[in-house]
Structure 1
């Protein structure tokens, strides 16, 4: 995975940039603050502004290692621009992604290292995470809600590290997905998110600086999805 500006500066949501290349409906900038989506996290929403106009960013396209911003059909941009990510949407994604790591850590601890089989975050402040838990007691999963909110309230720092791919495979519990491994950077490094004293796992999304920056959570529903999967649906209170 290419190291993105938002990985190191998730609070910086506006950047001035130069247009490197352009075509109708797409632009390549010298820099931008956007997260393009992945790992169950939705892509950022936002705008590109330039002298005399502005356009919504409708998506992203990686081409030859470069990330193009997609714009409404026919829009062409030139010169100096300002790229702006939607702050409320980014905050929602950061909360959900961090909180899913907390839930993942508790399930991994209490259910014999159960692996993740799917994740999806939603713009309405809800999310779901699927675990490989063929024999799990759904009431035990639901009973994690008080501890989940206790961890959030503890204001644990959320830290970022980068480790070699071989080290990531060697560290038990660092890779939590049953089928997907975060791609390494061109330097062969894997990005690791650590919640101090609780959890370390590979991840490419955007996160909070500390757990208390999240609103409290509710476990909305536990579902059996097939023979093996348990789906836990969560929601941010007040979202």
Structure 2
């Protein structure tokens, strides 16, 4: 994949751009600020605006390495447009994804490098993450909630970098999923997210620039999903 605009410009939520190609209900933009989804994270919500109106963004589709934006109406748009990312939804996804990294780091450290078997973030401010933990004590997992919120209160910096694909496979603990890894960029690099002093792992999603920008987190439920999997459900304190 090519590097997403939102990775290099995470704070740009409104962007003047132009339509390069169009078909009914879809456009290819010269620059696209939307995160298209992936790795358990939902795609951005938002709008395209132009001189004659606006339309909601629906989903995204990669065709021959180019990111098409699909619209919620079968319009065919041309010329200059403004792409506007929904700031509240983007913020919620950034919080959830960063908080899942915190939880992932704590489980990885406390449970002998347990790997992730699935992740899903939801539009209601909740998320779940599954771990390969056949013998885990659920009470020990539940007891991680204060440590998650302590990491949030510490306001730890969150940074990104890119490393060679071979280096990513060689660095112990960088790839945390049992079955998938973030796709490399077109020049063979893997994106790495680091929470200072706590976590460093490969990831392609959107994140906060510091943990303190997240609302407090609650562990909502822990479920046994088969003999090996433990599913931890978390939720942002939306109050």
Q: What's the offset of the Cα at 1:73?
A: 3.9
Residue 6, structure 1, aligned to residue 1, structure 2? no
Deviations 1:191-230 (A, max 9, x none): 0000011110000000000000000000000000011000
- Listed as ranges, the gaps of 5+ residues in structure 1 are none
Distance 2:229 2:172 in 1: 22
Tell me the residue number matched to 1:72. Answer: 72
Q: What corresponds to 2:236 in structure 1?
A: 236
Give the match's secondary structure for 1:113.
Answer: coil
- The size of the alignment, in residue pairs, is 239
For 1:2 and 1:127, locate their aligned partners in 2 and report how far apart those are by CA, in whole Å: 27
Residue 132 of structure 1 deviates from its aligned partner by 0.2
The secondary structure found in structure 2 opposite 1:118 is: strand
1:193 aligns with 2:193: yes
TM-score, with length taken from structure 1: 0.99
> Does 2:162 match 1:162?
yes
Please give the secondary structure, in 2, of the residue aligned with 1:151: helix
Q: Structure 2: 5+ residue runs without aligned partners?
A: none
What is the RMSD computed on CA atoms of the aligned residues?
0.7
Matched, 1:135 2:127: no
Alpha-carbon distance between aligned partners in 1 of 2:101 and 2:168, rounded to the nearest angstrom? 17
d(CA) in 1 for partners of 2:101 and 2:8? Answer: 18
SS at match of 1:234: strand
Is 2:32 the counterpart of 1:35?
Answer: no
* Contact map agreement 2:39 2:204 (CA 8 A) in 1: yes
User: Offset of 1:145 from its aligned partner?
Assistant: 0.5
Offset from partner CA, 1:93-139 (integer Å, 9 cap, x none): 00000000000000000000000000000011000000000000000
Partner of 2:119: 119
Mapped contact 2:55–2:73 kept (Cα < 8 A): no
TM-score, L = length of structure 2: 0.99
- The CA deviation at 1:190 is 0.1
Report which stretch shifted further, 197-206 or 9-18. 9-18
Q: Which residue of the partner structure matches residue 50 of structure 1?
A: 50
* Distance of 1:41 and 1:2 partners within structure 2: 18
Offset at residue 183 of structure 1 (A): 1.1
Q: Report the counterpart of residue 98 of structure 2 in structure 1.
A: 98
Moved over 2 A (4+): none
